[in-house]
Chain A
Amino acid sequence: MSNLTPPTRTPAFEARLRKRYASERRFKLLGLGAIVFSVGVLAILLFNMASNGIGGFQRTELAVPIDLAQSGISTDPAVLAQPGAIQSLEAQGLPETVAMSAVQALGPKGAEELNPSAWREVAEALVDDPSLATRSETFWLPATRGLAAAHGGGGSPELQAVARELAASGKIERNFDGGFLTRSDATDPQAVGIWGALKGSMLTMIVTLLLAFPIGVMAALYLEEYAPRNRWTDAIELSINNLAAVPSIIFGLLGLAVFLFLFPSLRSAPVIGGMTLALMTMPVIVISGRNAIKAVPPSIRDGALAIGASPIQVVFHHVLPLALPGILTGTIIGMARALGETAPLLMIGMRAFVATPPDGFTSPATVLPMQIFLWSDEIDRGFVERTSAAIIVLLLFLLAMNGLAIYLRNKFEKTW
C-alpha cells in the first residue's frame, strides 16, 4: 500500500494547489474590493456633502460702518424691549439709514449691493444690544445673491469686477453664517435658513412618535403575548410584515386619499405628515418590539404567574420593562427612517414654500428632507451649498439617533 504514492501527494496535485491558492487570493481580493468600494462610496458621498456644505454654512457679507447715534432714530431701550420694536425701527427709517451708510462705505451702488434683508439684521442687533445706538459700529451685512455669486466666481462680469474691487479693499468676505440655523426658507440663497424645516420635522416627528410608539408597542404585546392562533392573528401578522415592505410612496397615496380627504384644510400640516409617517413607522416598531418581547425568557412569565399575577400584570410589570430597551432601539431606528423620508410627504403636499416656521401642528410646514429636495431644484450655486449644508444637518441628526440606538443596544443587550 505505502509504496504507491497517494493522489494527494503527486506533483500534479501540488501544481493544482498553487492555482487553487491563486484563485483563493483573487476571491478574497474581490471581497475586499467590494468592501472598499462600498465604504469608498460612502466616504465620497460624505466628503462631497461636507466640502460643499462648508460653504453652505457661510455667506458673503459686506462691511458697512453705521453710525446709529447720528441717524436720529429713537433707541429708547424700553421701546426696543417691546415686541413691535423691529417694525418701529423700520417706520423710523432704519432701512434708509442702512442704505445711506452702504452708499458711503461702498460707493454709489452700495445700497443695491446690500441684501434687502440687511437692515433687519441691524435692527435685530439693536434690539439685542441697545447700546449700539450710541456709537458707530461696523456691521457685516449680507450681500445680494448676485454679488454673492460673483464673489464666488460666477455671475455677471460686471458684478465680478465689483466684487474684485470690494475684495481688494477687504470690504467683502465670506463669513460663518450662524443665522442659517435660525432662519427659514427664502428665495434668496443669502437669506435662507433651515430653522423652519427643522421645526417642521420636529413637529412631524412628535406626531409620528405619539401615534406609532403606543400603537406599535400595544400591537407587539398583543401579538406576542395574548393573540390566539387563528385566522385573524395570521391576517394581522401578514399585514404587518407586508406593510414593513410597502414602498413609502404608497403610504403617501394613502395619506392623500384618506387623511387629506377627511381634513382638506390641513394640507401640508405636520399633523397629517406625522400621521402618514406613523403608519409607515408602526410596523417597524411592532417587528422590533416583538423580537424584544420574544427575548424575555418564559421563566420570568412563569414566575410571575405562579405568584398569582394576572396575565395583564405579568406583561406590564415584568415583560414590558425588560423588553423596553429593545423596543426603544427599534423605535429610534424607525424614527430615524421617518425623519429622512421624503416621498410620502411629497404626496400629501408638504412641499410648499414655507417662509415662516410653523407655529403648531396644524400650520403649513415643510420638513428637512423636503427642504433639501426643494433647494436641490434651484440652479443658483448658492443653493447648491445651502442644500449640502442642510444635508449635513440632517445627517448629523440621523447619526445622533442611530448612535443613541446603538448605545442603547450595547448597554442593555442581555443574553439570558
Chain B
Amino acid sequence: MSVSVLFLLALGLGLAGWIAGRARAWAFRKVAPDGRLTSLPNYHAWYVALWIAVPVALFAIIWSVTAPSLILQSVLSTPEASQLPAFGFQRDNILREAQAVASGAAPAVFNEAAKPLIEPFRDAMAQYNLMGFAAALVIAFLAGAFAYLRLKPDFGARTRVERAVMFALLLASLVAILTTLGIVASLVFETVRFFGMVNPIDFLFGTQWNPDPMSSADNPDPARYGAIPLFWGTIFIGAIIAMIVAIPLGLMSAIYLSQYADPRLRKWVKPALEILAGVPTVVYGYFAALTVAPMIRDFAQSIGIASASSESALAAGIVMGVMIIPFVSSMADDSIAAVPSAMRDGSLAMGATRSETIRRVLIPAALPGIVAGIMLAISRAIGETMIVVMAASTAANLSANPFDSMTTVTVQIVAMLTGEASTEHHTTLSAFALGFVLFLVTLSLNFIALRVVRRFREAYE
C-alpha cells in the first residue's frame, strides 16, 4: 500500500470525524440550557477531524520511511534470499528489480536471479500493507474517540482549533529555516568529506582543475583540484563581461523609461523587458550556443584571432548580460524612483537640463540602491547555470582573453554530478565543495546588498 492510500485514509477518516463531531455538537445544542455552545458546531467538527487526520498522516509519513526497510528485512530472512550474491551493486539491482515487479511497477524481470524473490516480496508487502492499514485504523479510532469524548456544550473547541491553525502557520514559516539549514548541512557535510581528501588550501588556491572521475575513489590527486581557474572563469563571465553588457544597458533603459519615455512607449516596453526577464535560462543558453557563439567566433577569426573558441567566454557573458538587463533596469528604476522628487525639482529649478539632473543629482542620490542592485545582479549571474553549461566550456583555462574558452563553478558542478562517478567519489564531492563556495559568495553579496538597500530606503523615508 502506498503512502497516498494512507493519506487518503487520513482524509476520509478525518471527514468521518468531522461529521461525527458536528452531529454531537448539534445534539448538545438541543439539550443545552439556552441552546448556545461556547464554540460553533463547526469548531467541534474540526476539532475531532484534526485529532484523527493529523495522527494518521504523521503515521503515514513514518510508515512510508520505515516500511520499505522492514519489507526488505523480512524478504532477506526468507530462504530464497540466501541465493543472493553477498554484497554490492548486483545484489542491490536484483533486489530492486524483484521489488519493482512485485509492486507492479515493472512488467517482468530482466535478471533471472530476481525471479525467485518476487513471491517473498509480494508476501512481505501484503503483510506489511495490512499491518499499516490496521495500525492507521487503530490510531484513528483511539484519537477520534479521545476527541469525541471531550466534546461538551461548554468545551472551547474554537480556541483549540485556532491554536492548531496557529501552530500550522508557525510550522509553515519554519520550512524556510529548515530549507536554509538543509542547504547548509548538505553542503557542509559533503564539503567536509571532500576536504578530508583534498586540502582546502590546494582547492582554493590551486591553478589546475582537471578531476579524473576514473581515478581511485580513495586517493584523489590534490593537484587536479585547484579551483582558481573556475573562480576566475565565473568572475570573468558573470561579473565582468555580463556586467559590462548589463549595467550600462540596464541603467540607461531604466533612465530612459522613467525620465524620458512617453507613457505609451513605457506601456509597451516595460512588459517587453519583463518578458526578457521571464525567458527561461535554457532558452538563453540555446540562443548563446546556437547563434551568438558561432557569430562571435567568426567575428574573432575575421579580425585575425585564429584561436577563438566556439565556446568563448564572450558569448556566454554577453548573453548572460542580456538576461540580466531587465534585472538591473528594474533595480535602477526602483532606486531612482525612491529619490524624492524635490531633488529633481530643485535641480530643474536651478536651470539644469534633464540629463544634468539625472547625472549629477538623481544618480548620485540613487547610487547606494543602484550599487546594491548591481551586487544582486552579480550574485544572480555567477549562480546562473544553464547559459554557461550550454555555451561555455568545461575546460578550465586561466586566461584573460574573452575569445578563449573558459569554465565556471556552475558548469563544473553540473559536469561533476552528471558524470559517471558514484556518489562517494571525490569528483562528486568536489561539486558540493564548489556549491558551498558559490552559496557563501552569493549569500554574502545578497546580505550586503539587502542591508545597503534598507539603509538607502530609510535615508529617504
Contact = CB atoms under 8 A, between A and B. Distances in A.
Asked whether A and B interact, the reply is: yes
A20 to B, nearest CB: 6
A159 B386 CA distance: 36
A404 interface: no
Given A35-B257, A38-B253, A254-B186, A222 B170 contact: yes
- Residue of A20, A256, A341 contacting most chain B CB atoms (<10 Å): A256
B435 interface: yes
A372 interface: yes
B349 interface: no
A216 B359 CA distance: 41
B271 A406 contact: yes
Interface in B154-182: 158-159, 162, 165-166, 168-177, 179-180, 182
A283 interface: yes
A81 interface: no
A243 B283 contact: no
A160 to B, nearest CB: 24
B384 A247 contact: yes
Interface string A269-297: 00000000001001100100000000000
Interface residues of A, number: 85
How big is chain B's contact interface, by range?
35 or more
A241 B450 contact: yes
A354 interface: no
Interface in B130-166: 158-159, 162, 165-166
A28 B256 CA distance: 7
Given A245-B376, A395-B279, A219 B175 contact: yes
Interface stretch (A40-48, A105-113, A128-136, A179-187): A40-48
A254 B281 contact: no
B404 interface: no
Contacts of A218: 168-169, 171-173
B280 A340 contact: yes
Contacts of B248: 34
Contacts of A395: 279, 283
A253 B432 contact: yes
A230 to B, nearest CB: 12
Main secondary structure on A side of the interface with B? helix
Nearest to B164: A312
Contacts of A254: 179, 182-183, 186
Interface in A242-268: 242-243, 245-251, 253-254, 256-258, 262, 265
Interface string A1-38: 00000001000000000001101100110111111011
B272 A219 contact: no
B291 interface: yes
Contacts of B172: 214-216, 218-219, 222
Interface string B345-363: 0000001011110110000
Contacts of A248: 383, 385
Nearest to B99: A265
Contacts of A282: 175-176, 179
B179 A239 contact: yes
B96 interface: yes
Contact of B253 (A35, A242, A398): A35
A347 interface: yes
Nearest to B275: A42
Contacts of B385: 247-249, 342-343, 346
B252 interface: yes
A131 B442 CA distance: 65
A249 B413 contact: yes
B365 interface: no
A343 B355 CA distance: 42
B450 A342 contact: no
Contacts of B379: 245, 247
Contacts of A391: 283, 286
Contacts of A49: 283, 287
Interface in B242-299: 248-253, 255-257, 259-261, 269, 271-276, 278-287, 289-291
B278 A257 contact: no
B356 A20 contact: yes
Contacts of A48: 287, 290-291
A396 to B, nearest CB: 12
B65 interface: yes
A39 interface: yes
B407 to A, nearest CB: 14
A402 B282 contact: no
A247 B410 contact: yes
Contact of B274 (A33, A214, A240, A402): A402
Interface of A: 8, 20-21, 23-24, 27-28, 30-35, 37-39, 41-42, 45, 48-49, 214-216, 218-219, 221-223, 226-227, 235-236, 239-243, 245-251, 253-254, 256-258, 262, 265, 279, 282-283, 286, 310-312, 336-337, 339-343, 346-347, 351, 363, 369-370, 372-373, 376, 384, 387-388, 391, 394-395, 398-399, 402, 406
Given A221-B169, A343-B386, 7 more contacts: A39-B269, A241-B450, A256-B417, A340-B283, A342-B280, A343-B385, A347-B417
26 contacts: A24-B353, A27-B355, A27-B359, A35-B252, A41-B322, A48-B287, A218-B169, A219-B175, A245-B446, A247-B385, A247-B439, A253-B186, A253-B432, A253-B435, A254-B183, A257-B186, A283-B176, A312-B162, A340-B283, A343-B386, A347-B417, A373-B285, A373-B386, A376-B285, A376-B289, A391-B283
6 tightest Cβ-Cβ pairs between the two chains A and B: A247-B383, A340-B280, A31-B256, A257-B186, A218-B172, A34-B252
